[in-house]
Amino acid sequence: MNRAPELLSALLNGEGRALARAISWMENGHPEAADLLRGLWPHLGRATVVGLTGAPGAGKSTLTDRLAQALRKQGLKVGILAVDPSSPFSGGAILGDRIRMQRVAPDPGVFIRSMATRGALGGLARATQDAIDVLDGAGFDWILVETVGVGQDEVDVVSCVHSCVVVLVPGMGDEIQALKAGLMEVADLFVINKADRDGADQVEAEVEALKSMSPPRPWDPPVLRTVAAQGQGVTELVEGIRTHGAWLRDQGALQRKARERARLRVEALLAQEAVRRVKAQVGEARIDEVLERVAMGQQDPYTAVATLFPD
Ligand SMILES: Nc1nc2c(ncn2[C@@H]2O[C@H](COP(=O)(O)OP(=O)(O)OP(=O)(O)O)[C@@H](O)[C@H]2O)c(=O)[nH]1
Ligand SMILES: [Mg+2]
């Protein structure tokens, strides 16, 4: 069955159900997923892709919801991907997020989807990047990607976005210290959310101190404040993201990011394809044998892998 062309035209016509189906194809490695992506390819590159990352409960979903509302008011279509590597659920919105995001959920100009696919074929970043492409190709103007924390999965996911917003909250001094290496690398904008609480000045001082200790970057990430629960500071955040986007374009940094993304993406697919071919060539049974030897401590993994590549 050749269903990719049909799904492609449904996507390009903006049919909501096609989006969910297409993203599932990407997540599950549907046999026609590659055909679909090929068809989408000429339509890509229009969307502004923004990542929101930060500790659990920092207010990322609330902020995402508010951002989406603000963008809708400007007539823009918004896709939201909530990425949670720790969650085994996939293929639908996490209930809590759905409830929190109710303000925008019934609007056809907003699409919300959880990417909670532990062990998605080729990794979460791969599935997320493909989902971003689906939304981009389907004509979404902004794509907001919410991720928890800054583990490796998230850092990979960050490579999929143009602008990365790191969401901090008052009273998380120690966590900032713990996260600092990862944070400084990925942040294009800092947001101190829950600025209605005590301690916003202190977090800001800590972020500024961190910035001054890290090697200078061509882009100096601004530190903004929001009260997402009340929608305060959201307009400024949209403007801040646009300013960063304009800077990326002026500096040719979008191309640089695209190149880095292409490298990660192609290398991931290459690795996947290499594994597939080796399995096809030597057979699963032979691989199992090798795994067993390594597991039993009879052979080290390096030698084991070398035995699978007869030259
Ligand atoms: N006081 C205050 N509370 C807020 C603010 N923004 C969000 N909250 C509350 O903080 C809680 C967590 O918000 P979420 O938006 O779910 O946070 P999150 O970062 O998406 O959480 P996870 O996805 O679970 O990591 C909710 O109860 C929000 O209502 C704010 O600006 N001020
Ligand atoms: Mg959330």
Name the least confident of 41-45, 71-75, 144-148, 299-303: 144-148
CB burial string 270-289: b at 16+ within 10 A, e below: eeeeeeeeeeeebeeeeeee
Whether 194 and 59 have beta carbons less than 8 Å apart is answered as yes
Q: In 10 A of CB 176, how many CB atoms?
A: 18
Show the tokens assigned to 163: 């602008």
Q: What is the CA 262 to chain-centroid distance, rounded?
A: 15
- CA proximity to 49, closest of 143, 173, 134: 143
Whether 99 and 112 have beta carbons less than 8 Å apart is answered as no
Parallel/antiparallel/unpaired status of strands 110-115 and 78-83: parallel
CA atoms within 13 A on the CB side of 127: 29
pLDDT for position 139: 95
* Residue 10: Cβ-neighbour burial (10 angstroms; 0-12, 13-18, 19+): middle
Q: Which residue has the higher pLDDT, 290 or 115?
A: 290
Name the least confident of 91-100, 113-122, 193-202, 225-234: 91-100
Whether pLDDT at 13 is above 70:
yes
Pocket of ligand 1 (CB under 6 A): 56-62, 100, 148, 193-194, 196-197, 227-229
pLDDT for position 222: 96
Whether pLDDT at 103 is above 70:
no
Whether pLDDT at 96 is above 50:
no
- CA proximity to 208, closest of 195, 225, 221, 193: 221
Band (pLDDT 50/70/90 cuts) for residue 210 is confident
pLDDT for position 107: 77
State pTM to two decimals.
Answer: 0.87
- DSSP assignments along 231-284, one per residue: TBTHHHHHHHHHHHHHHHHHHTHHHHHHHHHHHHHHHHHHHHHHHHHHHHHH-H
pLDDT, mean of residues 75-90: 76
pLDDT digit string, tens, across residues 263-307: 888 988 898 888 889 999 999 999 999 999 999 999 999 999 999
> What three-state secondary structure class fits 31?
coil
Rounded CA gap, 204 and 195, in Å? 10
**Counting atoms of ligand 1 from 1, which one is nearest the CA of 65?**
15
Distance 9 CA to ligand 2 centre (A): 32
Residue nearest to atom 13 of ligand 1 (CA): 59
pLDDT for position 265: 85
**Counting atoms of ligand 1 from 1, which one is nearest the CA of 193?**
31
Name the least confident of 58-67, 105-114, 167-176, 275-284: 167-176
Q: Which residue has the higher pLDDT, 188 or 159?
A: 188
For 248, phi then psi, to 5°, come to -55, -45
CA atoms within 13 A on the CB side of 154: 26
Candidates 60, 62, 154: which one to mutate for ligand 1, based on the most atoms within 8 Å of Cβ?
62
**What are residue 225's DSSP bridge partners?**
192
∠15-20-26 over CA atoms, to 5°? 120
Distance 191 CA to ligand 1 centre (A): 13
pLDDT, mean of residues 216-226: 93
Residue nearest to atom 21 of ligand 1 (CA): 57
> What three-state secondary structure class fits 308?
helix
- % of the chain exceeding 90 in pLDDT: 53
- CA proximity to 247, closest of 212, 211, 218: 218
